[in-house]
């Protein structure tokens, strides 16, 4: 097999080091596939792993990258054949096994999603874990009866990958979306995705009472902490809150009043080990009725493997808006 490359993360005496090395994924064992990678995408989790600012990898060395798309190069799994286009997100990539920032990757077939009709390999990574997570949040809100008639949906961390796709999908489905972001300079970008209002977190007119007047039909939250606590108190009867991120803190200052007096539902979004049945359903929607016309707007950067470390540093500095896709193939 032709020698390829990978971004490998090594443990050092003081922290970690990420460097590009010669790499060839091993031959597949029983039930496994080797994928010739074409695209990956950068997520905040990747930036934490590559820069060493987060404890993402559980063993060393490992190839970074929690997402990958490409074509099957070799298969020892029933139903998968050479040349099949596939994608993988989560499932321990760049945590317990080699990830997708490489020209090839070997994985168990039960982690692999066939590329849905309606998506290209590049579009699959334009979504990546960020888009899939937004889609999973949408799926779980709909399970609980989310409806545009309940009122506007607030999306926090709006300029990130998950927030951007959440806004675009909600808008596509007819929801009024209020983007919550500190980046005033991104107002035009957020309106272009479908947000009707852009609000700075400090400007949210929400008090400190255990239950505030109902303002939002739902929330997709990427921040956590005090911001999420305030928003939950302002959700209307039978509205829903999807909790995804923790950049603002892991503690919530809440009472049960929104839950028992308004029937507000809070759902947690865990995309890494999402059951395959739901995973396939979300990807089918992302390839069809949820697929936003503004995908090219959300993808703000396309880079090669050599540029990944610098892009991860930008992401950690908070200067990244939208999604970055990584070109791995020809």
pTM: 0.95
For 109-125, how does the pLDDT look when each residue is reduced to its tens digit (9 = 90+)? Answer: 999 999 999 999 999 99
Indicate the pLDDT class of residue 295, thresholds 50, 70 and 90. Answer: very high
Residue 1 predicted with pLDDT over 60: no
Report the distance separating Cα 263 and Cα 252, nearest Å: 18
Residue 189's pLDDT is: 96
Structure tokens at 273: 């080990």
Please provide the average confidence, as pLDDT, over all residues in the chain. Answer: 95
Structural contact between residues 40 and 326, judged by C-beta atoms closer than 8 angstroms:
yes
**In this structure, are residues 106 and 33 in contact, taking their beta carbons and an 8 Å threshold?**
yes
Write the Ramachandran bin of 312: left for phi over 0, alpha for psi from -120 to 50, otherwise beta. Answer: alpha
Which residues have a Cβ under 8 Å from the Cβ of 267 and sit 6 or more positions away? Answer: 137, 140, 141, 144, 240, 241, 242, 243
Number of residues that make up the chain: 330
Per DSSP, which regions of the chain are E strands?
4-12, 15-23, 32-42, 62-63, 67-75, 85-89, 104-108, 113-114, 153-156, 177-180, 195-199, 216-221, 235-243, 265-268, 299-304, 323-327
Task: Tell which residue, 176, 177, 135, 183, has the closest CA to residue 159.
Answer: 183
Domains of the chain, each with CATH number or no CATH? 4-115+294-327 (3.90.180.10), 130-268 (3.40.50.720)
195-220 per-position pLDDT tens digit: 999 999 999 888 889 999 999 999 99
- CB count within 10 Å of CB 296 equals 10
Average pLDDT value for residue range 248-274: 95
Q: Strands 113-114, 85-89: parallel, antiparallel or unpaired by DSSP?
A: antiparallel
Q: Please tell me the distance from the alpha carbon of residue 115 to that of residue 22, in angstroms, as a whole number.
A: 28
Query: What pLDDT does 201 receive?
Result: 94
What phi and psi, each to the nearest 5 degrees, are found at residue 327?
Answer: -85, 120
User: d(Cα 266, Cα 196) in Å, to the nearest integer?
Assistant: 24
What is the rounded CA–CA span in Å between residue 310 and residue 321?
15
């Amino acid at each position: 097999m032709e020698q390829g490359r990978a971004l490998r993360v090594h443990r050092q005496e003081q922290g970690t080091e990420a460097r590009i090395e010669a790499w060839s994924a091993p031959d597949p064992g029983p039930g496994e596939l080797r994928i010739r990678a074409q695209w990956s995408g950068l997520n905040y989790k990747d930036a934490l792993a590559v820069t060493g600012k987060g404890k993402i990898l559980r063993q060393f060395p490992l190839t970074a990258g929690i997402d990958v798309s490409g074509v099957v190069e070799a298969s020892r799994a029933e139903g998968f054949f050479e040349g099949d286009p596939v994608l993988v997100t989560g499932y321990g990539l760049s945590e317990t096994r080699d990830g997708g920032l490489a020209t090839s990757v070997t994985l168990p077939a039960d982690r692999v999603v066939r590329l849905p009709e309606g998506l290209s390999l590049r579009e699959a990574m334009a979504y990546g874990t960020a888009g899939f997570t937004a889609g999973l949040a949408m799926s779980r809100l709909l399970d609980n009866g989310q409806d545009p008639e309940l009122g506007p949906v607030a999306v926090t961390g709006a300029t990130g990958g998950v927030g951007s796709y959440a806004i675009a999908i909600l808008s596509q489905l007819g929801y009024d979306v209020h983007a919550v972001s500190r980046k005033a300079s991104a107002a035009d970008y957020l309106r272009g995705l479908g947000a009707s209002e852009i609000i700075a977190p400090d400007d949210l007119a929400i008090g400190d009472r255990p239950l505030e007047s109902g303002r939002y039909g739902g929330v997709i939250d990427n921040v956590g902490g005090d911001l999420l606590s305030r928003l939950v108190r302002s959700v209307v009867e039978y509205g829903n809150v999807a909790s995804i991120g923790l950049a603002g803190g892991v503690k919530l200052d809440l009472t049960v009043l929104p839950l028992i007096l308004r029937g507000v539902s809070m759902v947690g979004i865990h995309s890494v080990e999402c059951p395959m049945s739901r995973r396939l359903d979300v990807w089918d929607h992302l390839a069809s009725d949820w697929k936003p016309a503004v995908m090219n707007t959300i993808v703000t950067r396309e880079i090669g493997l050599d540029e990944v470390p610098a892009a991860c540093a930008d992401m950690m500095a908070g200067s990244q808006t939208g999604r970055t896709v990584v070109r791995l193939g020809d």
